[in-house]
Amino acid sequence: MSEENLFEAPQSDVYECAISNEKIEHLLVIAKRQKHLIYTFALYFIVAGVLGQADKQLQPLLSIVAMPIFFAIVVLNIRLCWKIYGTFGKIIMISLGLIPLINFISVLIASSSANRILKKSGFKVGFMGAKIKEIELAACVK
């Protein structure tokens, strides 16, 4: 009697992917850019909170520290918008991102759009964005 299982499903070399590798790469870029933007945004709020509670002598120094963080938020927002919007959307979101105070609304809109894209692709998105490892594991590996 042979050890072969007659009731086992036939094996094939063909491997079907639910999401193509190009789409996974696109989603990875969106998730990473969103995560960078969220962390920088959180850092800005921490510095702004400390700035509000600081002595008058430290406020100019903390303002100098907050400026590069603000510019990083603008650049990271532009990079995220560049990946998720079409031509018209890029122009609108980048223009809004350059205006102080309104850029925070632009960041929230871009982040929610990234959340929507990632959720529609079947990934869980938490408060601090999607898990990068989860998206990396979804890549088709033969």
Q: What is the pLDDT of residues 126-137, one digit of tens each?
A: 888 888 888 888
**Model pTM?**
0.78
Q: Is residue 57 part of a domain?
A: yes
Q: Is residue 101 part of a domain?
A: yes
Q: Is residue 25 part of a domain?
A: no
Q: Is residue 18 part of a domain?
A: no
User: pLDDT tens digit string along 48-77?
Assistant: 888 888 888 888 888 888 899 989 999 999
3-state secondary structure of 16: coil
Q: Is residue 5 part of a domain?
A: no
Say how far apart CA 31 and CA 13 lie, in whole Å.
31
Q: Is residue 63 part of a domain?
A: yes
1 has a pLDDT exceeding 70: no
142 has a pLDDT exceeding 60: no
Domain encompassing residue 120: 30-137
Q: State the pLDDT at residue 2.
A: 63
Tokens standing for residue 88: 């018209």
Asked if residues 57 and 83 have their Cβ atoms less than 8 Å apart, the reply is no
Q: Is residue 6 part of a domain?
A: no
Domain count within the chain = 1
